[in-house]
Homo-oligomer: A and B are copies of this chain.
Amino acid sequence: MTTRVPRMNDAESRAWLALVGTSQLLPAALDAQLQADSGITHFEFMALSALNTAPELTLRTSDLAVRTYATLPRLSKVVSRMEARGLVERVPCPGDARASNIRLTRDGRKALLLALPGHLALVRAEVIGRLSEPQLEALAEALEPVLEALADDPRFPWARGGARRAETDATAG
């Protein structure tokens, strides 16, 4: 297993450093804005968004976990916190008493809609607004296979198949 791995050339290195740096700063920036703007984390925002675009505003816990790239314990705790704040509710799943459905409440929807404009503004200001249309295409073309690879790698079982299914942001609100 000590196969020789070639070092990075210039283009590789630049792309990698930019990607790693972005992965470091972006989540913190998103959290900061959403937290300040409406008291939710970016992860909560993603969860609320996913619920908002689901039929009946409801998803199975494990479905929601996949859609948000989260482990089940993490999601469980986050849902408990959001439930305590009245943003979502757990409803028993008819037909399977082990499972539970997470439902977006009216207040949860309000919080999401409240957060949305600031979120979109930030995303546009920091990311998509800085890129031309072809650059956006190229970015998507480049990162989609990467995302898929990460999501499908058996070494990282957290978000199995999350890439394929996570077609849910509030980007189409």
Q: Give this chain's copy count.
A: 2
In this complex, the member of A133, A136, A142, A169 whose beta carbon has the largest number of chain B beta carbons within 10 angstroms is A142
Q: Number of A interface residues, CB 8 Å?
A: 71
A40-74 residues with Cβ-Cβ distance < 8 A to B are 46, 69
| Chain B residue with Cβ nearest A138 | B138
Residue pair A130, B155 in contact (C-beta under 8 Å) = no
Q: With a CB–CB cut-off of 8 A, which chain B residues contact A126?
A: 146, 149-150, 153
Nearest chain B CB to A42's CB is how many angstroms away?
8
Q: With a CB–CB cut-off of 8 A, which chain B residues contact A128?
A: 8, 12, 15-16
Q: With a CB–CB cut-off of 8 A, which chain B residues contact A12?
A: 128, 136, 171
CA distance A86 to B2 in the complex (A): 26
Given contacts A131-B142, A149-B126, contact A171 B136 (CB under 8 A): no
